[in-house]
Amino acid sequence: MSLWPITLWHLLALIVLVAAVLIYRIFARRRKRARLLATPLTEEQRAVLARLVPMLQRLPEDLRPSLEGRINLFLDQVTFHGNGGLEIKEEMRLSIAAQACLLVVNSPVWFETLRTVLVYPAGFLTGRSDHDGFVVHERDVGSLGESWNRGPVVLSWDHALQGGLDPDDGHNVVIHEFAHQLDALTGHTNGIPILRKGQGYAGWEKAMLDAYHGHVERLERAHPTLIDPYGATNHQEFFAEATVTFFEKPRAMREHEPALYAQLAQLYALDPADW
C-alpha cells in the first residue's frame, strides 16, 4: 500500500485549513476596525479631551464622529510605554491619540506601521552620531520628540500636554512627530507624504519649495517667520512645522502662504482657517 494518496490529501487539507484561517483573520480584523471606527468616545473621555485638547472644540460637527472613531482605533492599535519613571495614565493616551488623529480625521491615510509610543516625563536625551571624515562622534542631545520610520514615536509628556493645551502658539510636538509618521509612509521621510487623489506632485513641490526657500531667506535676514525656525533644518522638518502652523495659525498661513495652505488643505482635506 502506498502512502502517497494519504499524504497528498493531508497536504491539500492543510492548505485549505491555513487559507481559511488567514481569510477569517483578515475579515475579523476588518470587522474590528470598522467597529472601532464607528464607536463614539464616552462622556468621560470627551470631558478629558475638552480640557486637554481645546483645539478639538473648533472641529466642524460632521467630523467629530470620524475623530472619535480614529481615536478608538489608535488606542487599540498603539501601546504606550512610560520611560524615565513615567506612569502612563488614561488622559495621556487620550491627549496624544486625539492630537495625532486630528491629522487624519478626514483622510484615508492611517498610521499603519505604528505600534508603540514611548513617553518621557519631560525633554529627554537622545543619541546622535556626527560624521567627521572617518571619525564618528557619538553625543547626547536634548529632544522633545522623535519619530522613527516604521518604528515608535517618542514624546515628552510635558510638551505633548502643553501642545494640546495651547492651540494657538504655533508649537505642537505631537502634530510635528505624527506629520513625520505620515511622511514616512511612502518609505522615504523627505517632506513628500502620500498625496491625495488628484493632488499633483508638481504643484506640491513648487508650493513647498517656494515656501521653504522664503522661510530660509527670512531667517538669514533675521526677519520674523510664521513657521517655526526649526522648519529651516531640511524639507522633512519644514513639512512637519508647516503642518503645525496649518493647524495652529491657519488664518495667518492662508493669508501669508496661500499656496502652501492650499496644498496642506488638500492633503488633509481640512480647512482649519474656517473653523
Minimum CB distance to Zn ion, residue 182 (Å): 12
Nearest-angstrom CA–CA distance, 59 and 33: 23
Minimum CB distance to Zn ion, residue 67 (Å): 24
E strands, 124-253, in order:
124-132, 135-143, 145-147, 153-156
Which residues 234-253 are close enough to bind Zn ion by CB under 5 A?
237, 240
Minimum CB distance to Zn ion, residue 25 (Å): 35
Which residues 130-189 are close enough to bind Zn ion by CB under 5 A?
none
Give the nearer residue to Zn ion in terms of CB position, either 39 or 126: 126
x/- map, 108-127, Zn ion, by CB under 5 A: --------------------
Minimum CB distance to Zn ion, residue 80 (Å): 20
Minimum CB distance to Zn ion, residue 180 (Å): 6
Minimum CB distance to Zn ion, residue 176 (Å): 6
Give the nearer residue to Zn ion in terms of CB position, either 175 or 253: 175
Give the nearer residue to Zn ion in terms of CB position, either 215 or 254: 215
What are the grid coordinates assigned to 81, written together? 510605554
**Exposed (0-12), middle (13-18) or buried (19+): which is 24, by Cβ within 10 Å?**
exposed
Which residues 81-100 are close enough to bind Zn ion by CB under 5 A?
none
Give the nearer residue to Zn ion in terms of CB position, either 75 or 184: 184
Give the nearer residue to Zn ion in terms of CB position, either 73 or 240: 240
Give the nearer residue to Zn ion in terms of CB position, either 237 or 248: 237
Neighbours of 139 (CB within 10 A): 10
Q: Which letter does DSSP use for residue 131 in this model? A: E
Nearest-angstrom CA–CA distance, 226 and 242: 9
**Helix/strand number for the chain, H first, E second:** 10, 6
Residue 257: name the closest of 245, 271, 269, 272 by CA.
245
- The DSSP H or E segment spanning 120 is strand 116-120
Positions that interact with Zn ion (CB under 5 A): 237, 240
